Amino acid sequence: MATALQHLDQYDPDALPSGEGLRIGVVTAEWNRKITLALRDACLQTLIGNGVAEASITAVQVPGSFELPSAAQMLLEYRELDAVVCLGCVIKGETRHDEYINHAVAQGLTDLGLQYGTPVIFGVLTTEDEAQAEDRAGGKHGNKGTEAAVTALRMVGLQRHLAAAAPSESAASDSGPS
């Protein structure tokens, strides 16, 4: 769905799983800093506002969006986290660099989430121009940082729900043929 048809920071807080006890990593690209810091601030505010303790958030910065997957992997390797939110902004320029960066970042973050079994959230703006980025970093379309935080909480909630509903190994082995 196109962002123009929705507001990025509208969500039902009553339908959102609590962030209490969660440990979340937040990786923010420094390139397009004005935009990415607005994304980060909204993300952190949303996480904390929904019960994630500030001390349970590991926030790091990287030079650009291309480095988001590497930093996310480092966090997953060296911290015990329930999710990692990656925030960046790639604005189309005169060359096709944006296509290469966006594809590589999306694939890298997807691969990490599957490899580690931990939600790795793609909170990267991929816009035609700076005005579109500003509209999605607290402007008329809301803030993608809020949306990314909400996505992290929902995905961790889903993971925990499915894990709790899964049959235990001992119950599965007890019910098998003798």
User: Catalytic residues, which ones?
Assistant: 97
Q: Encoding tokens for residue 4?
A: 């123009």
Q: At a CB cut-off of 8 Å and minimum separation 6, what does 168 contact?
A: none
CB 54 within 8 A of CB 45: no
115: tokens are: 């490899």
Q: Single out the residue of 39, 62, 68, 49 nearest to residue 148, CA to CA.
A: 39
- 156, with CB counted inside 10 A (0-12, 13-18, 19+), is buried
